[in-house]
């Protein structure tokens, strides 16, 4: 029988421990194919219950799965700190970057791993995003060299290198920009393409697409006739790939949206590219991490692609001969890691009520011709679908006559309803980045709140990805302003419609979202409390002390430093702690290289001096984001305990009462 109980106090099977148990994340998908319909599907998955390590799994054609890495070994690159592209294949041979020493290793079937690169100071030389020449002699990949441990960002070198596939010293191929990514070989390993950009641009601001001839005829490979063929100021190019005919494809936002283009001739392109799949949707995504494919080539020459519109993904095909575009009907709202083999699209798909799975879809003319086949099926999460809240995209008005977007999740629990005269508390969630987007996939971290009686609003503020370059650029020069306006507007939108309790609105976020959280609590009175995970507190300190990838990010988001130093101070919560009088919980990792621990320590000290109720936790050994099961669980429980105490609600049995300083 349904029980009437105050919102926020509902008992639920979705505990923090269950969230962690279900939080194995599929990271990357790859395929090894014999060309005779005997393809193996490979993927990596991050496992919090194993210390956050990334294991590689192989699914053979008969459906059997095998774990590839020895116990305790993790495949994870730290290039750009955010990594991705930490492993790749050559047939059944696996090349991977060890998460601890950052060396490149090789595993051949039936043999133990062997190192291919020398052991230097831990993490000082890093690799990512590799490809192997078709004679298997050379690995082409991104190398990042830190001259010394804790070397300044200005000393770090990023370049393209070639490494003997049997081991040896890296050979520099190209180092003509501050950053390189996405080295891709054509089918004959004669031409190499890659992306480059330089400070102060980020890869979603301005990049160049390069092509060169790869000469492997001598003792050492050489890159010849390198030329930039597309891109430049004000254009972001991502995801280059070669089709079977040797033509180069890529995504560009030259017409506002990251759409798909290709050059009509094989080899080194000349002239203008051809627009292929265009419209008010985005195939490309911001290059925070390496190796994130969103399109692939079927054997018949068609392109299978994922595209995002209004925060939701869909799958489609494009025929370059006829120009025909077909929508492929699949039961997913979020699609990543798009591959193709044996007439199938293979990808990671998830829905608002369905966790991520690896699925294969046979692609016929006009779309899918058979139901999806799960290569890595959904697990039993131990939660009834009746306890899950389905997300719904919304668009709402914000400051200056603009609009912003969000996904809302109403409170839902089959065993409880709230009192008729009460409205639920609101949790406004802020994604990181800030050039990222709210996820359109089932996340028990969201259901953790909704099944307790909270309404969750996951905001796509101006600057978020998936809504075109112009929307993304609305945050340029206005970080700490536009994002806050949109979060406040989202809460006001829901309050005005009677959806939430205006006195019980909280805001939470990690990294850039943690900064927005602290700004919203400091500069507005829209929220009763908040939670900042590894969030920025001092923009000046971040501009002076962060890693190379984001060393000049704030030039576009805030302004050039030190010329605009006063703007940095004006928008930094640490300089306005006298205005921060709302309860806040702060959490971070001791080993965070993106937002150093000192950022949180400064604001905790100020909160203590000013008598503001707060709590803080430092997780030893964690970096930027929490990967270990015990830390994820503790962080979730601490945040829940904090809000319940702030709202004067009873804590459920077994939940630790976190100590609130000045509480």
Q: Are 314 and 494 in contact (CB under 8 A)?
A: no
Residue 488 has phi, psi (to 5 degrees) of -65, -40
Q: What confidence score (pLDDT) does residue 48 get?
A: 83
DSSP state of 497: T
Q: Are 409 and 450 in contact (CB under 8 A)?
A: yes
User: How many Cβ atoms are within 10 Å of 74's Cβ, its own excluded?
Assistant: 22
DSSP state of 661: B
Q: What confidence score (pLDDT) does residue 319 get?
A: 96
Confidence of residue 154 (pLDDT cuts 50, 70, 90): confident
Q: Over 70: is that where the pLDDT of 36 sits?
A: no
Q: Over 80: is that where the pLDDT of 367 sits?
A: no
Q: Over 80: is that where the pLDDT of 35 sits?
A: no
Q: Over 70: is that where the pLDDT of 37 sits?
A: no
Q: What confidence score (pLDDT) does residue 487 get?
A: 98
Instruction: Sheet with 259-266: list strands edge to edge.
Output: 237-242, 247-252, 259-266, 274-277
Integer Cα distance of 408 and 420 in angstroms = 21
Looking at the chain, the whole-number percentage of residues with pLDDT higher than 70 is 99
Q: What confidence score (pLDDT) does residue 557 get?
A: 97
| 244 burial level (CB within 10 Å; 0-12, 13-18, 19+) | exposed
Tell me the domains of the chain and their CATH numbers. 383-646 (3.40.50.1820)
DSSP state of 232: B
Q: What confidence score (pLDDT) does residue 379 get?
A: 78
Q: Over 90: is that where the pLDDT of 1 sits?
A: no
Our CA angle for 82, 88, 94, nearest 5°, is 125
Per the DSSP assignment, residues forming a β-bridge with 236 are: none
Confidence of residue 366 (pLDDT cuts 50, 70, 90): confident
Q: What confidence score (pLDDT) does residue 150 get?
A: 67
Q: Over 90: is that where the pLDDT of 133 sits?
A: yes
- Taking the CA atoms of residue 412, residue 417, residue 423 and residue 424 in that order, the dihedral angle to the nearest 10 degrees is -40
Question: Model confidence over 314-326: pLDDT tens digits?
Answer: 999 999 999 999 9
Q: Over 70: is that where the pLDDT of 375 sits?
A: yes
Find the helix or strand (DSSP H, E) in which 440 lies: none
Residue 214 Cα to chain centre, angstroms: 32
Q: What confidence score (pLDDT) does residue 433 get?
A: 84
For the segment 273-295, the average pLDDT, to the nearest whole number, is: 97
Integer Cα distance of 633 and 416 in angstroms = 24
Query: Would you tell me the crossing angle of helices 482-496 and 512-523 to the nearest 10 degrees?
Result: 70
Helix or strand or coil: residue 249?
Answer: strand
Helices (H) and strands (E) in the chain, counts: 10, 39
- SS3 letters across 65-110: EEECCCCCCCECCCCCCCCECCEEEECCEEEEEECCCCCEEEECCC
Residue 613 or residue 432, greater confidence:
613
- Choose among 427, 472, 475, 438: nearest CA to 571: 475
Confidence of residue 425 (pLDDT cuts 50, 70, 90): very high
Q: What confidence score (pLDDT) does residue 627 get?
A: 80
Q: What confidence score (pLDDT) does residue 447 get?
A: 97
Question: Model confidence over 575-605: pLDDT tens digits?
Answer: 999 999 999 999 999 888 778 888 889 889 9
Q: What confidence score (pLDDT) does residue 182 get?
A: 98
DSSP state of 515: H
Question: Model confidence over 431-446: pLDDT tens digits?
Answer: 988 999 999 999 999 9
Integer Cα distance of 480 and 537 in angstroms = 11
Radius of gyration from C-alpha coordinates of the chain: 25
Q: Give the mean pLDDT of the chain.
A: 94
Q: What confidence score (pLDDT) does residue 20 get?
A: 85
Integer Cα distance of 141 and 89 in angstroms = 13
- Choose among 599, 564, 396: nearest CA to 485: 396
For the segment 289-298, the average pLDDT, to the nearest whole number, is: 97
Confidence of residue 378 (pLDDT cuts 50, 70, 90): confident
Helix or strand or coil: residue 506?
Answer: strand
Q: What confidence score (pLDDT) does residue 393 get?
A: 96
Q: Over 90: is that where the pLDDT of 228 sits?
A: yes
Q: What confidence score (pLDDT) does residue 561 get?
A: 95
According to DSSP H, which parts of 219-358 are helical? none
199: which residues sit within 8 A by CB, 6+ positions away?
178, 551, 552, 555
Question: Model confidence over 20-30: pLDDT tens digits?
Answer: 887 788 999 99
Question: Model confidence over 100-123: pLDDT tens digits?
Answer: 999 999 999 999 999 999 987 777
Cα(first)–Cα(last) distance of the chain, in Å?
Answer: 37
Q: Over 70: is that where the pLDDT of 426 sits?
A: yes
Confidence of residue 218 (pLDDT cuts 50, 70, 90): confident
Q: What confidence score (pLDDT) does residue 24 get?
A: 83
Q: What confidence score (pLDDT) does residue 376 get?
A: 85
Q: Over 80: is that where the pLDDT of 257 sits?
A: yes
Our CA angle for 134, 38, 92, nearest 5°, is 45
**Can you give the pTM of this predicted structure?**
0.94
Q: What confidence score (pLDDT) does residue 380 get?
A: 78
Beta strand 25-32 with 373-376 is unpaired
Integer Cα distance of 601 and 274 in angstroms = 52
Q: Over 90: is that where the pLDDT of 497 sits?
A: yes
124: which residues sit within 8 A by CB, 6+ positions away?
102, 145, 146, 147, 148, 149
Q: What are 255-259's contacts with CB under 8 Å, separation 24+?
A: 256/468, 256/469, 256/470, 257/281, 257/282, 257/468, 257/469, 258/282, 258/283, 258/284, 258/285, 258/469, 259/283, 259/284
565: which residues sit within 8 A by CB, 6+ positions away?
540
For the segment 258-287, the average pLDDT, to the nearest whole number, is: 96
Integer Cα distance of 351 and 440 in angstroms = 7
């Amino acid at each position: 029988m349904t029980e009437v109980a105050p919102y926020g106090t509902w008992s639920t099977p979705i505990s923090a421990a269950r969230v962690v148990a279900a939080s194995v994340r599929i990271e990357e998908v790859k395929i090894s194919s014999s060309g005779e319909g005997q393809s193996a599907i490979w993927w990596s998955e991050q496992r919090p219950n194993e210390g956050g390590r990334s294991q590689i799994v192989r699914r053979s054609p008969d459906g059997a799965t095998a774990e590839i890495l020895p116990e305790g070994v993790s495949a994870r690159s730290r290039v750009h700190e955010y990594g991705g592209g930490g492993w790749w294949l050559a047939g059944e041979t696996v090349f991977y970057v060890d998460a601890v020493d950052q060396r490149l290793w090789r595993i051949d079937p039936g043999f133990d791993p062997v190192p291919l690169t020398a052991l230097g100071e831990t993490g000082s030389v890093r690799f990512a995003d590799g490809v192997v020449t078709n004679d298997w002699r050379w690995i082409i990949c991104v190398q990042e060299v830190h001259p010394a441990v804790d070397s300044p960002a200005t000393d770090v070198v990023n370049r393209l290198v070639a490494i003997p596939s049997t081991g040896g010293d890296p050979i520099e191929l190209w180092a003509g920009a501050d950053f390189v990514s996405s080295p891709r070989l054509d089918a004959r390993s004669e031409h190499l393409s890659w992306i480059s950009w330089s400070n102060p641009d980020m890869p979603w601001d301005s990049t160049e697409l390069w092509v060169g001839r790869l000469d492997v005829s001598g003792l050492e490979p050489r890159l010849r006739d390198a030329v930039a063929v597309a891109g430049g100021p004000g254009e972001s190019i991502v995801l280059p790939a070669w089709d079977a005919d040797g033509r180069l494809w890529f995504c560009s936002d030259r017409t506002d949206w990251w759409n798909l283009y290709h050059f009509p001739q094989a080899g080194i392109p000349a002239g203008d590219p051809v627009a292929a799949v265009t419209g008010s949707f985005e195939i490309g995504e911001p290059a925070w991490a390496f190796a994130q494919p969103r399109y692939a080539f079927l054997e018949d020459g068609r392109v299978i692609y994922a595209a995002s519109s209004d925060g939701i993904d869909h799958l489609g095909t494009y025929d370059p001969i006829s120009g025909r575009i077909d929508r492929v009907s699949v039961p997913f709202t979020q699609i990543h890691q798009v591959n193709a083999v044996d007439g199938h699209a293979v990808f990671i798909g998830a829905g608002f009520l369905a966790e991520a799975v690896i699925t294969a879809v046979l692609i016929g003319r006009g779309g899918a011709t058979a139901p999806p086949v799960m290569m890595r099926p959904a697990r039993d999460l131990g939660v009834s679908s009746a306890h899950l809240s389905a997300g719904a995209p919304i668009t709402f008005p914000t400051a200056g006559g603009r609009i912003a977007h969000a996904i809302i999740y109403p409170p839902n629990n089959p065993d409880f309803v709230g009192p008729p005269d009460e409205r639920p508390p609101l949790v406004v969630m802020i994604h990181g980045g800030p050039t990222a987007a709210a996820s359109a996939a089932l996340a028990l971290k969201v259901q953790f709140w909704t099944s307790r009686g909270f309404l969750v609003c996951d905001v796509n503020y101006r600057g978020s990805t998936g809504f075109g370059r112009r929307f993304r650029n609305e945050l340029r020069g206005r970080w700490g302003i536009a994002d806050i306006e949109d979060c406040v507007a989202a809460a006001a939108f829901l309050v005005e419609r009677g959806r939430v309790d205006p006195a019980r609105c909280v805001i939470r976020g990690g990294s850039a979202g943690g900064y927005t959280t602290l700004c919203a609590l400091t500069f507005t009175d829209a929220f009763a409390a908040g939670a900042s995970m590894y969030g920025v507190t001092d923009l000046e300190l971040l501009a002076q002390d962060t890693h190379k990838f984001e060393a000049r990010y704030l030039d576009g988001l805030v302004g050039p430093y030190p010329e605009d130093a006063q703007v940095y101070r004006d928008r930094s919560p640490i300089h306005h702690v006298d205005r921060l009088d709302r309860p806040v919980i702060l959490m971070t990792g001791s080993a965070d290289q993106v937002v150093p621990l000192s950022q949180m320590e400064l604001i905790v000290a100020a909160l203590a001096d000013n008598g503001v109720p707060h709590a803080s936790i430092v997780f030893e050994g964690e970096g930027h984001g929490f990967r270990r099961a015990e830390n994820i669980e503790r962080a979730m429980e601490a945040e829940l305990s904090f809000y319940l105490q702030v709202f004067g609600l009873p804590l459920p049995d077994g939940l630790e009462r976190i100590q609130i300083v000045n509480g």
